[in-house]
Amino acid sequence: MNTRVTALILTACLVVYFVLLGQRGVLLIGTGEPVGIALGIGVLLLPLIGVWIAWTNLRFGWQTEKMARELADQGGLPDTSALPRRPSGRVDRDAADAWFEDRRAEVEATPEDWRAWFRLAHAYDIAGDRRRARETMRRAIELHS
């Protein structure tokens, strides 16, 4: 099953969960007691926060996928197939670091090019730094927009 289908199935499950949670919140508010009302409001806030988190993550994925397709059409998608790999399939750390340095130099040479930032985000990802990969991809999305 591909990533898109998995994301849609999980989102559908979240929607069902949020609806059920929302119903519980309404029932708690319907008790008319101060504690029930307070808990009901709190329970109603949880789905709102969850919807916001799900939306931002789905939007990030869609934008990243759109940029990857565009970059692939231009022939600029990062290719790490030649890098040596560990038995686990992950890119060898030294090779990932060297590849990262090339991508960083590319960003320093063209700091306003979203393509360079996209490739740098990929370099962070293969180096195992997911947090910086997401931050860098957000920068690429900003520049692309």
Average pLDDT, the chain: 90
Using the 8-state DSSP alphabet, how is residue 111 labeled? T
What's the pLDDT at 120?
94
Give Cβ neighbours of residue 28 (< 8 Å, ≥ 6 apart): 36, 37, 39, 40, 43
CA dist 115 and 134 (Å) reads 15
What's the pLDDT at 113?
94
CA dist 54 and 48 (Å) reads 10
- Per-domain residue ranges of the chain: 3-63, 93-144
- 84's tokens: 């040596």
Give the residue, 85 or 63, on which the prediction is more confident: 63
- 3's tokens: 């990533």
Percent of the chain topping pLDDT 70? 99
Residues 40-52: pLDDT tens digits? 999 999 888 988 9
Which is nearest to 84 in space by CA: 97, 95, 70? 95
- 136's tokens: 């860098």
Using the 8-state DSSP alphabet, how is residue 86 labeled? -
Q: How confident is the model at residue 91 (pLDDT cuts 50, 70, 90)?
A: confident
CA dist 29 and 70 (Å) reads 49
For residues 67 and 60, the answer to whether their CB atoms sit within 8 Å is no
Lowest-confidence region among 27-41, 84-98, 107-121: 84-98
What's the pLDDT at 1?
63
Give the residue, 98 or 29, on which the prediction is more confident: 29
CA dist 94 and 115 (Å) reads 24
